[in-house]
Structure 1
């Protein structure tokens, strides 16, 4: 154990944390709402392109369990919807905020320090299209940050449903990773008994049913996002969607982007009394891989009818999200509430459970 090297590393970490990403520091970043870090993008919207979650359970060693569907990450959509810098900031915020809160809760439950995580990376659906410049940029940045500033936070790492190309690449890359870290990683293909391996490390009641356990989560392990994906071609030449009822003056947000080519967007108002529809948004052109956002207010009670028409149906994919203003505000409020909970628990510390109002009343 090199004391001088350890002291030098600690000093570098503290200096980095004081100045990342700005003078407020990394800890302050961890206390910010997700919607603020991502410039208005909510956690639900993020799930459409990068599905991940803390399960709120622990493995057999008391570690919090985190899982993500790495195989179907959409790096190109993430780059335009959120931006790579914001995603890197969110990664650090989770390490400083929610992950620390989960570790504190696990420490209280276990009655001993819990300092690392049990992580499951599901690579089902992974293709070579995932390995592009945006992917390398994002994962390269967070890998360096984790290695330099958050070492030894991975207690166990399961990579499941790994395609053969990933396993081959790992056999080459693991020679560059220290033996201690390699020993924490287990890589299994779809044909390997990965469910049994997960259950060896995680009690069935702590593992979702989708992964071989008995834990049933509301909406499933991966609830559907309000962001929908529509593939054009064949019989699908355009998308027409009606939102009803809408009240007079009610505002609705249409947020979308397309891959493979641009398209036009229209919104018409349909009166509740059965009168003729009248246009509110006329043939707005949206280029491919550009996020388009339109707020539309209903002039009276009725319905809003939106239409998306690609210039050519074949090969076009639309990602669309339609929300009433009240839903947008509710999501922002929920994000702020989550951040407040994290801040309160981190401020309380390991013995925070003993300082809750109920506990204080019991002591009195």
Structure 2
């Protein structure tokens, strides 16, 4: 390692290959000892390019705006014991204009990529605008592989906005592959493969939980344990523990378009918790029935169009209102095309679903 200027270092894993890091002085293994170690315990900022030949047994932390991390094909290895692969954390202040690309992130105990304000539930303001001012925005995750995360693959935490996951693979997560948490808005999930996630707890590939105005386009959802895309409003589960917030935002105005769903129990499920008995979930919301089993699951005004459903048990299940399901191609191996269970019978709150538009969906043979 060569010190060239105060707070600026050239760092390398192999002799003769250097990239610039803006850091504070520290002691780190010499470049010629064969170690692939990032300085500052993995905290990076500015423009950073990793060594393609390296496997880094570290968490990478990004806490400053205007950071561009190019892993250059390098691997971040969690060994099942490190919590998070890449932590993008505003630490209770705005962080924006962050790009992460060309990374292989595998075997982290908790999450592969975690995008968060660093605020805990008790830190959030009753003023939602104040929360948005402190949450990450304009975060781009591009061409990454997130593999074997113990919990979730890529997590957009509360109030993250205007961010993108694209051209990536999220596979083998114990729970949800990609999660859009409460208050998130305008997240784009584009041209990814989201496969074989959710084996613990029978979860879905993509959860849109109290999240609105998002676009899910051009992705492949394959063999996720619970299903492909679930759109719902969390009931404030385990509210008394202090670890869950009451959701104020409905999961509305989301667009699910031009995706392929293959070998899923349910391809897209709108209001996926409407008919679920949540009496043991400790919900903070009021129940809609006298027995305390069911809760309003707000997921309305969403669009599901031009998708292909191959060998799904149910292609689209709709339990919310005023949703549009049009021009989808569904193969004959899918047992149910569009299922609206409360079209003719009452939901637990005594109402039927209303205003949903289902038309121009066609039978189509899928090509393996």
Task: Give the alignment's TM-score, normalised by structure 2.
Answer: 0.23
Name whichever structure is richer in helix by fraction.
1
Name whichever structure is richer in strand by fraction.
2
Larger radius of gyration: 1
Structure with more contact order per residue of length (Cα contacts < 8 Å, sep ≥ 6)? 1
Task: Give the alignment's TM-score, normalised by structure 1.
Answer: 0.23
